[in-house]
Amino acid sequence: MSEPLDPLERELAGFPPRGVSPELRQRIGERLRAPGWTWRHWAAVLGTAAAAGIVVLLAWPAPEPRTSPDSRSRASTNDPPLPPPTLAAYRRAFDRSPDALEELLRQHPTLALREGGEELRAGQRFNLLFLESLGDR
The size of the chain, in residues, is: 137
Which contiguous run of DSSP H or E holds residue 28? helix 22-33
Give the closest residue to 89 by CA, choosing from 80, 101, 98: 101
137 residues of the chain, pLDDT tens digit each: 467 778 898 888 888 888 999 999 999 988 888 777 788 889 999 999 999 999 999 988 877 777 766 555 555 556 666 677 787 888 888 889 888 888 877 776 654 444 454 555 555 556 666 666 766 54
Identity of the residue numbered 31:
R
